Amino acid sequence: MTGLGACDLLGLFGHFLLLSLLAVGGAITTAPDMHRYLVTDHRWITDSQFTASVALAQAAPGPNVLFVAVLGWNVAGPVGAAVTLLAIMLPSTTLALWATRWGAKRRETLTVRAFTAGLAPLTIGLLLSTGWVLTDPARGHAGLMALAAVTVLVMWRSKLSPIWMVASGMLAGALGWV
């Protein structure tokens, strides 16, 4: 954790503010750019810290967006957590509230139906890029990549609860298979 100055915190706030407006499908879809900004460009945290932050927050009960606060905490402590969480929540929440009210009044129009249908492939692409970034530490390990591939296949082709895949990964790790 580094002690960031006011300018760095303002930059962090501004970046996450912009990412909030791109977070179609949730904040996790912008994780690749968060990684680029925090790890690659500014080197405020390491790749391992980034991945661990996302994994910890996703495993914890509560909203998925909590990973943003954990990233902020790792960058600048409690102030960083507050800055990143406020920045990621403010624009998207305001926009979502407005768009939901607007769309509810016009739900049957061709424009709203086309917009809604067009968001599905965008969200899937953003989630796939997030998955790619999060598997970076495991890419040199065939067992981990095989486990990730099996998990994707099972989630895609079945209605099995994801908790079973999490448990399988935990068991494979405990047995030293991955």
Predicted confidence at residue 16, as pLDDT, reads 97
Residue 168 pLDDT greater than 90, yes or no: no
- The C-alpha atoms of residue 66 and residue 104 are separated, in whole angstroms, by 28
pLDDT at 1: 47
pTM of the model: 0.64
**Cα–Cα dist 131/29, whole Å:** 9
**What is the average pLDDT across 78-87?**
97
Average pLDDT of the residues in 75-84: 96
84-140 pLDDT tens trace: 999 999 998 898 899 889 888 998 999 888 988 888 888 888 888 888 888 887 778
User: Rounded mean pLDDT of the chain?
Assistant: 89
pLDDT tens digits, one per residue of 48-77: 999 999 988 888 888 889 999 999 999 999
Answer yes or no: is pLDDT of 147 > 60. Answer: yes
The residue type at 33: D
Query: In the predicted model, is pLDDT for residue 2 greater than 70?
Result: no
Q: Are 85 and 68 in contact (CB under 8 A)?
A: yes
Q: What crossing angle do the helices spanning 6-22 and 66-105 adopt, rounded to 10°?
A: 40
Please, what sign has the CA dihedral across residues 146, 148, 149, 150?
positive
pLDDT of residue 38: 97
Give SS3 for 158: coil
Is 104 or 16 the better-scoring residue by pLDDT?
16
Quote the pLDDT of residue 162: 85
Say what the pLDDT of residue 131 is. Answer: 80
Phi, psi for 170 (deg, rounded to 5)? -65, -45
* Count of other CB atoms within 10 angstroms of residue 19: 22
pLDDT, position 139: 78
